Every structure is written in structure tokens, then in C-alpha cells.
Amino acid sequence: MTSNLQAYRGSLLHFLADPAFSAQSHDWFEDGLLIVADGKVQAAGDYAALHATLPPGAVVHDYSGKLLMPGFIDTHLHYPQTDMIASPSAGLLPWLETYTFPSERQFEDSHHAANVADFFLDELLRCGTTTAMVYCTVHPQSVDAFFAAAEQRNLRMVAGKVMMDRNCPDFLRDTAETSARDTEALIQRWHKRGRALYAITPRFAPTSTEAQLQLAGELALAYPDTFIQTHVSENEAECAWVRELFPNSRSYIDVYDSYGMMRPRAMYGHCIWLDERDRQRMAETRSAAAICPTSNLFLGSGLFDFERADAAGVPLSLATDVGGGTSFSMLQTMNEAYKVARLKGSYLPALRMFYLATLGAARAMQLEGTVGSFVQGAEADFIVIDPQATPLLQRRTARVNSLEELLFALALLGDDRAIAATYAAGQQVHVRETT
Ligand code: GUN
Ligand code: ZN
């Protein structure tokens, strides 16, 4: 078992519980050691204690002065929107029409899809994100291209083919039957192949007929360990549209509920305009929210209500929502999440934000023990954060008085430059170039 053992020394942080609900939420070893064997975490703890357990001659990679933590998990983003990130538009629906749909059309071409998938994954790794829940396009070949690129890098990725059979351009439209057939074939081809996991992906209720939602729900029942991902209650105009399209549903999320799509491993993007019953339903079905602050501010969609979500016990996670989101960086996503919480009158400690981007997301995805922490046996996806990455970070972090202050400065001032290195299943998949 120790044939492929590697050890990493640095300040080590990982979470054991949600800091919002537990006083003993994390392990922090200022001088820590992470021991990795065969791509899995063998031990994580205090350097002085663990160093003695290493076999003679073991190599210790020295990241002293830097932080080792589990790789970030981004629970909602669109790889086909990489090339149109930061496109100006007055709100969600015109943005979809003007930029998103024409960009997604190009993914009919497998070569284009492969090219974008390569760039997208490398960009995630540069930002320290090692697991993501990713929307492809309506084209099955866009899913093949994505998972092939993820497999080359041995990444734990969740993705799926967008299902949409109405209210979209003809060139992006499937049918209820073809979408279900293609989705099932993709599940059989990719779900649990290596580190790949499949997400059944109806884009959002307005672009699916009832027949398509029905078939998506049947697939979700037939393949209970697949994921489900969609959008819900992002924008007020969208919510009004859903009320028109589904007059018999109690609420927007109730549309999905009535087709059996609220269950563990269901990830709902945005969740801004929910009511109390919606939140209760999410909590009782263990359906999770992907909170997308950079996107919500950019598109003017609204402010996520952390306090009400926590009061109901909704499983929470953070997400970039690229290309509605404006950054691939989960640090920049925390920066904006913090401000969204403030504008709603609540307060998000940095510890909570780092929890949500690691163990919290893993829990929301029912992947605790697999990714998101350094518990023994977890997959060794981890990042090396450099608190001195920029002159300003160096100056600010030299003056912090607590772990909370250090993490807060990293969240507010950090971005891809703060990620010195990224490892997936124990292999280095990114190292920051220093000039
Ligand atoms: N709602 C439906 N599709 C999309 C999308 O691509 N991005 C965002 N932000 N919202 C959506
Ligand atoms: Zn989205």
C-alpha cells in the first residue's frame, strides 16, 4: 500500500463539520503533513507526530509557509460558455438569446468541444477547483468531449447533456424521446467510468415540455446514484414565465418536485426566489442549492438568502455559474458571496465559505469521504495556497491575527494567482508559473 507514497508539508486545513452549526468544524495544523498513497489520503495531521510514521527515505515535498487544503468544488457552471464569459446584457433571458444559445450551437462540432473542454479544465485547475458539476450542451458529443478531457487529467467531474425541447432555437432543440435516449446512452457510457459521474440535466423548466420532464424524472428514478442538475428561481421574469407555463404548479421548484426530481444528488442552481415551503422541501428531500453570487450580481438576478436557507436546513454549496458568472475562481466567488450575505443583513465567516467550497459541497453532492476533505481514504485532490501570492496579499496576510482573518484575506483578495499548485488523485495537475 505504501508503494506510491508521497508526503506534503505545509499549514493544513480541512473541515469536519459545518462551522455554522458546530464549534469543532475543522482541523488546522500550522505545521502539518499530508500523506498520500496510491492517489488517496493516508493521513493528515501534525508534522511532528506524522513525520515519524513515514518509511525511511520517504520524500517530503516542502510547502512550508503555504496552506494545503482539499481542492475546491464548484457545483454549477457551463463549460460551453467559456468563450462568452463577460458578455454584456440586461438580464438573464436576453443574455441567453443573444450570447448563450449562439455559443452553444458551436458544440455540434466535436473538435470545438474538445478544444474548449481542454481550456476549461485547465482554467479550473489553475483556480484550484478539482471537482465541478458541469452543464454541457444539447449535443451528446459535447458530453463525450468533456468527459474525455476530464479522464485525461483523472479528475472527479460531474456533467451531463442539456435537455431542452421548447422555447429555444431550432438548432439547439432535442425532443423528449431523443433527449431521454441520448441521456441514457451517456449514463451507460460515462457514469462511474473512472472518476466520471453523470448528471441528468434538463436546462430549466421553461425549455422543457412536460413530456421531457416526465422522462427526466423517470431516468432519475431508474438511475438513483446519478446526479440531477437544473436552474430554479434565478430571476423574477423567469419565475413569472414559469407561472404562465405551469399554471398548476404551486411554485417553480414544485414543477421539478412533481416529476420526481427532488432527491439526494439533485443540485439546484440559484434558488433566489424561493418561499418557505420550497426551502422545507429542499431540506426534506436533501436537494441542494448551488449559490452563484458572481452570476447573480452580474445578471442582476437577486440576492441569495443564507439566513432563511440555513433556518430551513437546505444543503448549500457555492458555484461560479461560468459564463453567467464572471470568474472561474472560487476565492472570487467567496468574495462576492460575502457581500451578497451582507446585503441581505447576514454574515458569512470565511471559515464557512471555505467549508461550503469543500466539505459542504461534497456533502451536498453525497460525496463526503470521496472528495472535499482529508479524511483517511479520500481521493487526494488538494491545493497549495500561497498567502504571499501578490504584494498586497503578502502585506495583508503578514498582519493577520487568526485563521479566520487569514482565510478572509485570501477570499477577498485572492484569485488564480493564490493557487501555487493543484493535485488530482495525488498527481500534480497545475503548478503556478512564477515570472
Ligand atoms: N437558466 C437557463 N439556462 C441558463 C444558463 O445558461 N445560465 C444561467 N445563469 N441561467 C440559466
Ligand atoms: Zn447556470
pLDDT > 70 fraction of the chain, expressed in percent and rounded: 99
Q: Is 210 helix (H, G, I), strand (E, B) or coil?
A: helix
Span 391-424, pLDDT tens digits: 999 999 999 999 999 999 999 999 999 999 999 9
> Best substitution site from 93, 95, 96 to test ligand 1's pocket, by max atoms within 8 Å of Cβ?
96
pTM: 0.98
Ligand 2 centroid distance, CA of 115 (Å)? 21
Q: Is 72-348 a CATH 3.20.20.140 domain?
A: yes
Domains of the chain: which residue ranges? 5-70+373-431, 72-348
- Ligand 1: atom nearest CA of 292 is 9
Burial class, 276, CB count within 10 angstroms (exposed 0-12 / middle 13-18 / buried 19+): exposed
**Does residue 279 carry a pLDDT above 70?**
yes
195 lines ligand 1 (CB under 6 A): no
Query: For residue 177, what pLDDT band results from cuts at 50, 70 and 90?
Result: very high
The predicted model gives 371-394 an average pLDDT of 98
Average pLDDT on 251-264 reads: 98
pLDDT reading at 1 higher than 60: no
Q: Kindly state the cell numbers that stand for 338.
A: 460575502
Average pLDDT over residues 330-348: 98
pLDDT of 315: 98
Do 6 and 33 contact (CB within 8 A), yes or no? no
Separation CA 203–CA 218 (nearest Å):
16
- Interatomic CA distance for residues 241 and 253, integer angstroms: 13
Q: Looking at the CA of 295, which ligand is closest?
A: 1
Which atom of ligand 1 is found nearest the CA of 78?
Answer: 6
Note the pLDDT tens digit of each residue in 87-135. 999 889 999 999 999 999 999 999 999 999 999 999 999 999 999 999 9
pLDDT in tens, 153-174: 999 999 999 999 999 999 999 9
State the complex-level ipTM.
0.99
- Give residues with Cβ within 8 angstroms of 332, minimum separation 6: 294, 326, 414, 415
Mean pLDDT of the chain: 97
Q: Which mutation among 204, 235, 256, 327 tests ligand 1's pocket best, with the greatest number of atoms within 8 A of CB?
A: 204
Q: What topology is assigned to 5-70+373-431 in CATH? A: Urease, subunit C; domain 1 (2.30.40)
Contacts of residue 203, defined as CB under 8 A and 6 or more positions apart, other chains included, come to: 135, 162, 163, 164, 168, 230, 231
pLDDT of 57 > 90? The answer is no
Ligand 1: distance of its center to the CA of 231 in Å?
7
Confidence of residue 3 (pLDDT cuts 50, 70, 90): low
> What is the band of 2 on the pLDDT scale with cuts at 50, 70, 90?
very low
